[in-house]
């Protein structure tokens, strides 16, 4: 693992997000992102009372479990962002068989398949599993992690003509091509196994939980946003590791791995202690790209003010660390 030491600047790095003027970071008293921290009956989370954008949802994040999307939500997001996977089943002879397929998903996350050949290779009871991995470009290039889910269910042939037409539209929207409706199948979801990465314990999600969850609203631009922040706001990201996390070691490098409506995941490298991942929550749930950028910009401002002693440290630092045991590539 190669560690790269970042040079600490005396002033905060230029933000990729718009500010009112060039003195934005220095004029803390007149900042448009002024933080008014107040006591509440709930345990204070990081930047809990921050208000920076009209697109931020009104209810603050209060519980630790709310700081991260549920496994059901993550599974729905993976399925929305992916279009290929591996379907596995048993043959008539009882042998396990897996092969690659393309798929689309309907509004409930039900996988829609198109079999160009007869399904005589599939188990007579049509039981199957569909394994899908999410590998955005920046995650693949950095070798950071591979979120994945496996859907277990029954392969079914819809009989209702209206349902087939609707599924045909779903397929055409995903792939931009016509398909014979007689070749369309779906997987009736029984349960879902969601894993954050290889060699990690997964969590099972019920069919009701999966169907009732919503994919993350930031999913379509999350990768672009992460790339921009890591490329242009390196000092802000490194400052988060110093100000927002309760660490007993020095961080030599930090990157944002992923961002969603509730916050972002950071990967930290230490020459002496190895690799860790932490979760930094947004002050409030965000609903779109504007809200995510506004929250990040204001959090960067507050972290800079705290580091320069312009603002008192009046929030609870992140204490939960996840050690990454595999080698960085």
pLDDT in tens, 152-201: 999 999 989 999 999 999 999 999 999 999 899 999 999 999 999 888 88
pLDDT tops 50 at residue 328: no
Domain end call among 187, 212, 237: 212
Contact 262/69 with Cβ under 8 angstroms?
yes
pLDDT at 198: 86
Alpha-helix runs per DSSP H in 222-288:
222-232, 234-243
pLDDT in tens, 141-165: 455 788 999 999 999 999 899 999 9
pLDDT in tens, 210-254: 999 999 999 999 999 999 999 999 999 999 999 999 898 999 999
Domain end call among 197, 212, 227: 212
pLDDT in tens, 109-134: 999 999 876 566 677 778 999 999 98
Do 45 and 93 belong together in one domain? no
Taking the alpha carbons of 56, 62, 65, 67 in that order, is the dihedral positive or negative? positive
pLDDT at 30: 35
Do 189 and 224 belong together in one domain? no
pLDDT at 114: 92
Do 197 and 179 belong together in one domain? yes
Q: Provide the pLDDT confidence category of residue 34 given band limits of 50, 70 and 90.
A: very low
CATH code of residue 140: 2.30.110.10
CATH code of residue 301: 3.20.180.10
pLDDT at 120: 64
User: Domain range spanning residue 138?
Assistant: 71-212
- Rounded distance, CA 115 to CA 72, Å? 27
Contact 292/228 with Cβ under 8 angstroms?
no
pLDDT at 19: 38
Domain end call among 192, 212, 232: 212
Do 167 and 245 belong together in one domain? no
Number of domains in the chain: 2
Do 186 and 111 belong together in one domain? yes
Do 205 and 89 belong together in one domain? yes
Average pLDDT, rounded, for the chain:
79
Do 233 and 322 belong together in one domain? yes
Do 200 and 99 belong together in one domain? yes
């Amino acid at each position: 693992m190669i560690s790269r030491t970042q040079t600490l600047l005396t002033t905060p790095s230029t933000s990729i997000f718009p500010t009112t003027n060039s003195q934005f970071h220095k004029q803390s008293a007149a900042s448009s992102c002024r933080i008014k921290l107040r006591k509440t009956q709930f345990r204070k989370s990081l930047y809990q009372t921050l208000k920076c954008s009209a697109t931020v949802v009104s209810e603050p994040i209060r519980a630790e479990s709310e700081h991260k999307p549920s496994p059901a939500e993550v599974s729905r997001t993976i399925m929305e962002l992916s279009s290929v996977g591996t379907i596995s089943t048993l043959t008539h002879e009882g042998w396990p068989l897996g092969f690659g397929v393309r798929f689309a998903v309907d509004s409930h996350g039900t996988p829609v398949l198109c079999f160009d050949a007869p399904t005589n290779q599939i188990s007579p009871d049509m039981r199957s599993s569909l394994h899908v991995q999410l590998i955005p470009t920046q995650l693949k290039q950095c070798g950071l992690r591979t979120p994945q889910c496996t859907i277990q269910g029954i392969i079914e042939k819809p009989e209702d003509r209206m349902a087939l037409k609707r599924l045909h539209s779903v397929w055409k929207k995903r792939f931009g091509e016509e398909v014979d409706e007689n070749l369309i199948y779906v997987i009736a979801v029984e349960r879902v196994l969601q894993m954050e990465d290889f060699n990690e314990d997964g969590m099972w999600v019920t069919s009701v939980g999966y169907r009732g969850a919503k994919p993350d609203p930031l999913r379509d631009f999350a990768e672009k946003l992460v790339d921009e922040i890591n490329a242009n706001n390196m000092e802000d990201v490194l400052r988060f590791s110093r100000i927002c996390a309760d660490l007993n070691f020095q961080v030599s490098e930090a990157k944002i791995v992923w961002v969603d409506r509730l916050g972002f995941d950071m990967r930290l490298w230490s020459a002496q202690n190895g690799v860790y991942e932490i979760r930094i929550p947004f002050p409030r749930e965000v609903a779109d790209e504007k809200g995510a950028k506004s929250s990040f910009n204001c959090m960067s401002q507050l972290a800079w003010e705290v580091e320069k002693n312009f603002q008192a440290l009046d929030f609870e630092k992140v204490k939960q660390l996840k050690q990454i045991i595999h080698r960085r590539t």
